[in-house]
Chains A and B, each alone.
Chain A
Amino acid sequence: MSGNKNNSSPRRNRNNLVIGAVLLAFVALVFSITVAKMMGGASMEAFDHTVRPSLEKTE
């Protein structure tokens, strides 16, 4: 790290805010993909190392 060692410099604050916003947006995106997939009829179950009859019937 070069230059400013002050953790609360305005530039660093702004960068942290942007990165925080990007991560939040990613969370929101994954959630909305999940909602869209569930509403489209995707199965809520997946392979879980045991027999799941409900998964086999869907094929």
Chain B
Amino acid sequence: MADATLIDQGRETDVGDYFALLKPRVMSLVVFTALVGLLVAPVSVNPVIGFASILFVAIGAGASGALNMWWDADIDVIMKRTKGRPVPAGKVTANNAMVFGLWMSMISVLMLGLTANYLAAGLLAFTIFFYAVVYTMWLKRSTPQNIVIGGAAGAFPPMIGWAIATGGISIESILMFALIFMWTPPHFWALALFMNQDYDDAGVPMLTVTHGKRTTRNHVLIYTILLVPVAMAVSFTSIGGPLYFVTALVLNAMFLKGAYDIWKRDDAAAEADKYAVERKVFRISLYYLFLHFVLLLVEAAAKGFGLTWAAWPQWI
């Protein structure tokens, strides 16, 4: 359990501190991917319903962030990257973070169910459970594969967006899920290669800590190879198309080249240029995911304007 040391800074808790508990930066990613899932779906949604639904998904994602900060306060206080968070910084007590997280979870799931449908609400509830319980409480501290399975939590939002619009699950939403799911490991391991020390100090079993950087480099390459077919397969579904295909081709070539470069070199070379390649690949991975989803939006917009290419194969 997380018994955070309370540092009384002689001031009362601010609304802003509670907002910070919702992990606004993670939330913005959730909003973006959920919105894409909603907009590319073949069913149009009333803008008010769509806006409210995405808002509740964002609050649900934020709630899981608050629960994560409650549970992880003891390790967040050790890591440089996280020690400024409201609980380790002593601005919000761990208990208040838990209560806030639980209430926000219930409100967001219930409101999403009432606003959209209960499949979307069920997926949101499962996402919160997965992130707060399966990832934070269980996997994060017990296995170096933590982020592989934990990545599922981050992969659900487009599926929720799709469910808000259609009330169902289909191959398109599963592939959007798979895209984020397979992308997460190489993305985080590239980061872990140059942020190793933090996780080491906190005793979080990142792959770099438990199996060393050589193994991590191998894993980055393997997972990137597995990611490519998933990303390309989306081209041949109802939400893909030639624009997505061409962009995906370039992005996957770049990411694959980057993963190969990471795999090819050893730590001596990395130390020499201060992990320049790893940092570059990490940056590429950010653009990689963002642009795939932007292109799905572009394809949806093109179809909205009647710009379709009948000859484009839709195999999946």
Could you list which residues of chain A lie within 8 angstroms of chain B, going by C-beta atoms? Answer: 1-4, 11-12, 14-15, 18-19, 29, 32-33, 35-37, 40
Contacts and interface: CB of A to CB of B under 8 A. Distances in A.
B36 to A, nearest CB: 22
B12 A36 contact: no
A18 B15 contact: yes
A59 to B, nearest CB: 16
Contacts, number: 36
A49 to B, nearest CB: 20
B58 to A, nearest CB: 13
Contact of A12 (B10, B12, B52): B12
28 contacts: A1-B12, A2-B8, A2-B10, A2-B11, A3-B10, A3-B11, A4-B11, A4-B12, A11-B11, A11-B12, A11-B14, A12-B12, A14-B15, A15-B12, A15-B14, A15-B15, A18-B15, A19-B15, A32-B52, A33-B48, A33-B49, A33-B52, A33-B114, A33-B115, A35-B48, A36-B46, A36-B49, A40-B49
A29 B15 contact: no
B93 to A, nearest CB: 11
B55 A29 contact: yes
Nearest to A32: B48
A21 to B, nearest CB: 10
A26 B48 CA distance: 13
Interface of B: 8, 10-12, 14-15, 46, 48-49, 52, 55, 114-115
Nearest to B115: A33
A40 B46 contact: yes
Nearest to A17: B15
Nearest to A40: B46
B54 to A, nearest CB: 12
A40 B114 CA distance: 14
A9 to B, nearest CB: 8
Contacts of A1: 12
B91 to A, nearest CB: 12
